[in-house]
Structure 1
Amino acid sequence: MELLISAGQLLTGPAGRGISDGAVLVRGPEIVAVGPRAEVAALAAPDARRMDLPGSTVLPGLIDCHVHLAFSAGPDPVGDLSATDDATLLEDMAHRARLLLDHGVTTVRDLGDRGFLAVRLRDEIGAGRRPGPRILSATVPLTPPEGHCWFLGGVVEGEEQIRARVRRNAEAGADVIKVMATGGGLTSGGAATWESQFTPEELRAVVDEAHRLGLPVAAHAHGTDGIAASVAAGVDTVEHCTWMTRDGFRALDDVVAEMAAKNVYVCPGASPNWRAFAARFGEDRARDVFGRLRWMAEQGVPLISGTDAGVPGAVFDNPVGSLEFYAYLGFPNDQILDMATGTAATALGLGDRTGRLAPGLRADLVVVDGDPLVDLAALRDPRLVVAEGRTHVPGPQPEC
């Protein structure tokens, strides 16, 4: 059956492009028409389901480019993970995926789980057996012995093991390869957050094997050296990209220029809890650290949105909190929305499937009251979410 949604405003994308008093016609999993209300309504079948929402805005479904569905977002997600068996963990992950869908997220990129569970969940959602967003899964992230997130099972040592792990992930259904180019704060006893974990040659082996198999590479990289080596190796996205060194922070102009020239996307992974950083370190230092993102964007580096949902404080039910981080930095709302829709879709290789409201694309959209171009808070309580043509009305979930 067809679904006709008429609204006071459609944000078709990009750059805030929209239609006043418009309508979207959905047939199955696909958008078949977008335009002025009367024109689109004339195309709908007599038995189409019709929703008339004159005070609402329809926009593309949000895309969260960095989540960890296997993590609890509690104070000790690693401990929670180790205490949870796979069957229970899959149910927990499904609960978190639905939370994201409740809040308007129709696509996520899961950048590290255990036991290929995100692939199982992806396929169940895709088959319509569970509600949730489209999932792109990295499966098990590559890390050295005792490296960042070693407990997920992706430990490798040397180029031969690196290539074998990439092939195994691909065979298990990975949509993207994740490599922990530097250390991270979630793992104790390993490399410091700023320290590199792989040599430049090893990173090139990751990229070479992944690209040979048609898979993109996402590099977790906080440290300046690790960022530079990842970009030189040809990764497709850099996650976090905080430019940390042993003694502070140092961004490299030539590497930023290379990122802009190669169209290497940066996903800062701004947690909804980002304000806690500012409170802990002080507004001046926070603005200095955060300001590097604005500077990179001004140099032409494309930014995409991601919440790092699952790590401490990065909850699954507040994607808008992460988007507000960019408003804090002075980005205009139309650009912020692009980072979470069209630009994100292009970065993930989905630009011909989602990220805009256009005929022929998948029916991924969210209906909200008010105007998010004026106030991002309008995104907080969606009235309706449509993911791959399946309608979802946000509401209470059973306890998992």
Structure 2
Amino acid sequence: MDSLISAGRVVTGPYGRVLEDGAVLVRGGVITDVGPSAEVESRAPAGIARHVHPEGTLLPGLVDAHVHLALDAGPDPVSALCEADDTSVAEGIAKRALGLLDAGVTTVRDLGDRNGLVTAFRDAVSVGRAPGPRVLAAGTPLTGPGGHCWFLGGEVSGENAIRELIHRNVEQGVDLIKVMATGGGITKGGPPIWAPQFATAELRVVVEEAARAGLPVAAHAHGTAGIVAAVKAGVSTIEHCTWIDRDGFRLLDDVVDEIVDRDIRVCPAASPDWRGFAERFGAERAKEMFDGIRRMRERGVRLLTGTDAGVSRAVFDDFVSSLEFFAYLGCTPTEIVDLATYEAADALGLSEVTGRLLPGLRADLLIVAGDPLRDLQALRRVRLVMADGHLHVRR
């Protein structure tokens, strides 16, 4: 929808760049003009749809870099998925995508699919057949026999099987490759979360095969040994990165330095229910885990915003609660808005597509009441969402 959108404040880029009383002109799904309201108004065509929010802040759409659209965030999302047919799962994916839009999330990276359902939904969104955020889809994640998320169909053993599954994913048009470098919490009867599932050499095969197709690799890794292997293999992002060892926590400073040197991004995948997780996990143990992420940030690791939406209690429409985790780490509201917009888009290879309000980029934007650069809670007061030029009517 061609639109002229104006607000009392316009966040045009990172580092708190704000234009007072500004406007954005959108034509054909692309931002074509940004500037003071009077100037943009003078250049806008007559009769164009106008959205005026003098008390609001206009900013780029938010980016959630870790979701699972196939999971329902209920008490037992794995059983719910395994018991549902593909038609029901596809309907749930479409519904949950609307929850993301309601929260101002206009780009997501989905890190675990079944039967290409999320990839199909991505394609429907991209051609305008379905409303939703832009989706980067990982397809079927690689895991060991009986390993974490085996129920998604990605069990592999040995280098040949690894290559074959990556080739199948590539043929289905995935945007990245996901590998479960360690066990995970939602897989009943699977390996413990600290246990590595692949040797370093096998992870190198994953990275090499993905690179041949021009794809990045996201590695799920809780355990220290799995994190070390993922770093040595050269993955693009590490998900969770909690440094859990058999007997507690073991963060290795030299490996953290290597993460920085290789510019590997780390997504803590902090659930909107991260405070509740701390209570269930144990306050002392949770603090040690969270302090490890803070320590990585202080040493220069670049963090990614992500919610793990879809696992139990990780809902799709409460992105701000997840962002509050970064405030807990010591980030300012301005830094958090940057993390959730430009920084995340850059990490996902989308810096020339989204993450800023600049002419030539896609029209992913939202208006909130208040100033999120001073008060993060303003992001809860969503007044307008536009995803790829499509105006979203909130439910």
Q: Shorter-chain-normalised TM-score: which range?
A: over 0.9
**More off after superposition, 126-135 vs 34-43:** 34-43
What is aligned with 1:246?
246
List per-residue Cα deviations over 1:152-206 (Å, max 9, x = no partner). 0011110011011111101001101000000001112221100000011100000
Q: Do residues 193 (structure 1) and 193 (structure 2) align? A: yes
What is aligned with 1:299?
299
Provide the rounded CA distance (Å) in 2 between the counterparts of 1:261 and 1:43: 46
Provide the rounded CA distance (Å) in 2 between the counterparts of 1:329 and 1:297: 8
**More off after superposition, 323-332 vs 222-231:** 323-332
What is aligned with 1:49?
49
1:2–1:44 contact (8 Å) kept in structure 2:
no
Alignment of 1:228-267 (within 5 A): 228-267=228-267
Provide the rounded CA distance (Å) in 2 between the counterparts of 1:157 and 1:112: 19
Provide the rounded CA distance (Å) in 2 between the counterparts of 1:16 and 1:84: 45
Provide the rounded CA distance (Å) in 2 between the counterparts of 1:221 and 1:323: 21
What is aligned with 2:211?
211
SS in 2 for 1:292: helix
Length, aligned pairs only: 395
Provide the rounded CA distance (Å) in 2 between the counterparts of 1:353 and 1:231: 28
Q: 2:373 is aligned with what amino acid?
A: L
What is aligned with 2:137?
137
User: C-alpha displacement at 1:30, in angstroms?
Assistant: 0.5
What is aligned with 2:389?
389
What is aligned with 2:337?
337
What is aligned with 1:351?
351
Q: 1:172 is aligned with what amino acid?
A: Q
User: C-alpha displacement at 1:279, in angstroms?
Assistant: 2.2
Provide the rounded CA distance (Å) in 1 between the counterparts of 2:90 and 2:292: 37
Instruction: Point out where structure 1 has 5 or more consecutive residues left out of the alignment.
Output: 396-400
2:2–2:29 contact (8 Å) kept in structure 1:
no
Provide the rounded CA distance (Å) in 2 between the counterparts of 1:22 and 1:117: 40
What is aligned with 2:373?
373
List per-residue Cα deviations over 1:110-167 (Å, max 9, x = no partner). 0001000001100111111111000100000000100000010011110011011111
2:148–2:182 contact (8 Å) kept in structure 1:
yes
List per-residue Cα deviations over 1:334-357 (Å, max 9, x = no partner). 111111110100111101100011
Provide the rounded CA distance (Å) in 2 between the counterparts of 1:257 and 1:249: 18
Runs of 4+ in 1 over 6 A off after TM superposition: none
Q: 1:107 is aligned with what amino acid?
A: T
Q: Do residues 362 (structure 1) and 362 (structure 2) align? A: yes
Provide the rounded CA distance (Å) in 2 between the counterparts of 1:379 and 1:258: 34
SS in 1 for 2:43: coil
List per-residue Cα deviations over 1:304-324 (Å, max 9, x = no partner). 100000001100110111001
Provide the rounded CA distance (Å) in 1 between the counterparts of 2:188 and 2:197: 14
Provide the rounded CA distance (Å) in 2 between the counterparts of 1:12 and 1:342: 10
Q: 1:353 is aligned with what amino acid?
A: V
1:327–1:333 contact (8 Å) kept in structure 2:
yes
Q: 1:138 is aligned with what amino acid?
A: A
Q: Do residues 310 (structure 1) and 292 (structure 2) align? A: no
Provide the rounded CA distance (Å) in 2 between the counterparts of 1:301 and 1:104: 26
Provide the rounded CA distance (Å) in 1 between the counterparts of 2:256 and 2:389: 39
User: C-alpha displacement at 1:273, in angstroms?
Assistant: 0.3
2:334–2:374 contact (8 Å) kept in structure 1:
no
User: C-alpha displacement at 1:282, in angstroms?
Assistant: 4.8
Instruction: Point out where structure 2 has 5 or more consecutive residues left out of the alignment.
Output: none
* CA RMSD of superposed structures (Å): 1.0
1:122–1:134 contact (8 Å) kept in structure 2:
yes
1:2–1:45 contact (8 Å) kept in structure 2:
no
User: C-alpha displacement at 1:75, in angstroms?
Assistant: 1.0
Q: 2:86 is aligned with what amino acid?
A: D
Q: 1:109 is aligned with what amino acid?
A: R
1:61–1:106 contact (8 Å) kept in structure 2:
yes
1:63–1:340 contact (8 Å) kept in structure 2:
yes
What is aligned with 1:77?
77
What is aligned with 2:156?
156
User: C-alpha displacement at 1:283, in angstroms?
Assistant: 4.2
TM-score (norm 2): 0.98
Percent identity over the alignment is 60
Provide the rounded CA distance (Å) in 1 between the counterparts of 2:344 and 2:211: 20
Provide the rounded CA distance (Å) in 2 between the counterparts of 1:32 and 1:265: 31
SS in 2 for 1:42: helix
Q: Do residues 288 (structure 1) and 288 (structure 2) align? A: yes
Distance 1:192 1:283, change over 3 A: closer
What is aligned with 1:31?
31
**More off after superposition, 323-332 vs 79-88:** 323-332
Q: 1:40 is aligned with what amino acid?
A: V
Q: 2:341 is aligned with what amino acid?
A: T
Provide the rounded CA distance (Å) in 2 between the counterparts of 1:244 and 1:74: 25
What is aligned with 2:127?
127
User: C-alpha displacement at 1:50, in angstroms?
Assistant: 1.3
1:103–1:382 contact (8 Å) kept in structure 2:
yes
1:383–1:393 contact (8 Å) kept in structure 2:
no
